[in-house]
Amino acid sequence: MVAMLRESIRWIFSGDSVEGHLSIIMPTPIVALEEIAGFLEGSGITVHDGRDFSAMLALYERMGLLRPDMLAKLRPPHAELADNWRKLHEGDASLACTLVARGPDGVPQGAITAVRAWDEAWLIQHFGVMPEAEPGTAVALQIASSSLLLTRADLRHACCFVGIDNARVQAWFDQFFRLGDAFEVASRIDLVRWARLPGGNSKTIAAPAGLEILAIEPGAPSWGAFTRCLGPIASDALSMQFNTTSRAFACRGLERERNVLLLFDRGHQKAFLIEERASPGVNLSGMLDTWWLFSLDESRPLDESIVELAANAISTRCPDERAGILLIPGSAPPPLRAPGFTRIAGARLYAFNRTGVRRFRDELALRYGDVRAAMERRRARDARGHQ
């Protein structure tokens, strides 16, 4: 694995990976890239083996990665969680790869995970760094993870969810999207979120007359709304039509499924409700244990009765202990008064195609050279101060 990582870093350095447009935006400081190769070799980034889930959870807690309501569901970690975490990471990195950055004393300082969440896309998740970590740790982890993904010939897309209130990380991505042509290789979509909290009042309410629900196959004619709503990059990334993901997870004794429901109002198709399911432990923030609601008519906001019908369907299909998140693309929230649902901070979905992943990685690599150079200057200043 380390050899593979070094190879991919050498590949950045070789310049093959630097897109034409990137070299126009900024001249490639080859020296900085050489430094990256050197630094990562001795950076103490290791591949996590899936054992000791409790230690990883403790690290995530210290890094402030998980909100209190997420932690409440994970603490104390039950045996199934630790077992699923091990299955996810065991064997090879074909399903998930968690990288851990360690300080000079070997103590973990940060981590990042890539999990093959959809047929065509890997989800970057569980990313955090301790406040006292070496400067540059966050960037090094992101470079290492995206470089590893790019070694996979089958990598088509990478995605991540970032809370709207996470100003620091949103600012990083704003940097990436500062030039309009970034939208040719990546997209960002605002999502309104409601959490269905365990123990909440989740009584179903009677569905209004004339509304009905039908289960359909992904790829049915009305599926075009999915692409219209998310745009080509994100809809390709989130596609799950061939069940390859489900099969890959099933081979490890894990669940990764999608169910699609079509919502009708007096015989007219109005919306899709997509249920995403993953075994507990696959994604600790619950973003793969979600429901997505899409309007079939993008020119009109979802109407209240359809949102209520969707909420009803979730409450009926989702047992109490399996809390879910309802995601609605767009920034104007339709009203949701169904009991048991609590509005939480919105999130933004970032989706990159392969060129986008490479460009993101290369931009970070350039940035990382700056971070390292600033660090060296500070060390030299401190050393002079002590003389």
Ligand X SMILES: CC(C)(COP(=O)(O)OP(=O)(O)OC[C@H]1O[C@@H](n2cnc3c(N)ncnc32)[C@H](O)[C@@H]1OP(=O)(O)O)[C@@H](O)C(=O)NCCC(=O)NCCS
- Contacts with ligand X by CB under 6 A lie at 63-65, 127-129, 133, 137-139, 142, 162, 166, 168-169, 172, 175, 364, 367, 371
Tell me the sheet residues that pair with 347: 163, 191
Q: Which is nearer to ligand X, 296 or 366 (by Cβ)?
A: 366
Give least dist CB 52 to ligand X, A.
Answer: 20
Q: Which is nearer to ligand X, 94 or 175 (by Cβ)?
A: 175
Give least dist CB 20 to ligand X, A.
Answer: 21
Nearest to 19 by CA among 370, 373, 365, 349: 365
Give least dist CB 131 to ligand X, A.
Answer: 7
Give least dist CB 303 to ligand X, A.
Answer: 32
How buried is 158 (Cβ within 10 angstroms: 0-12 exposed, 13-18 middle, 19+ buried)? buried
* Rounded-to-integer distance, Cα 228 and Cα 297, Å: 9
Q: Which is nearer to ligand X, 168 or 203 (by Cβ)?
A: 168
- The DSSP-derived string for 157-192 is EEEEEEETT-HHHHHHHHHHTTSGGGGGTEEEEEEE
* Rounded-to-integer distance, Cα 289 and Cα 282, Å: 9
Give least dist CB 109 to ligand X, A.
Answer: 9
Give least dist CB 292 to ligand X, A.
Answer: 19
Q: Which is nearer to ligand X, 237 or 309 (by Cβ)?
A: 237
Nearest to 40 by CA among 149, 129, 145: 145
SS3 103: coil
Q: Which is nearer to ligand X, 127 or 341 (by Cβ)?
A: 127
3-state helix, strand and coil shares in percent for the chain, rounded to the nearest 5: 40, 25, 35
Is residue 285 a contact partner of residue 237, using CB atoms and an 8 Å limit?
A: no
**CA triplet 72, 73, 79: central angle to 5 degrees?**
120
Structure-block tokens of residue 195: 């959490």
Across 340-356, b (16+ Cβ under 10 Å) vs e yields bbeebebbbbbbbbbeb
Give least dist CB 370 to ligand X, A.
Answer: 7
Q: Which is nearer to ligand X, 139 or 273 (by Cβ)?
A: 139
Q: Which is nearer to ligand X, 134 or 236 (by Cβ)?
A: 134
Q: Which is nearer to ligand X, 11 or 177 (by Cβ)?
A: 177
Give least dist CB 78 to ligand X, A.
Answer: 24
Q: Kindly tell me the sign of the dihedral angle through the C-alpha atoms of 154, 348, 129, 279.
A: negative
Residue bearing tokens 């989706």: 351
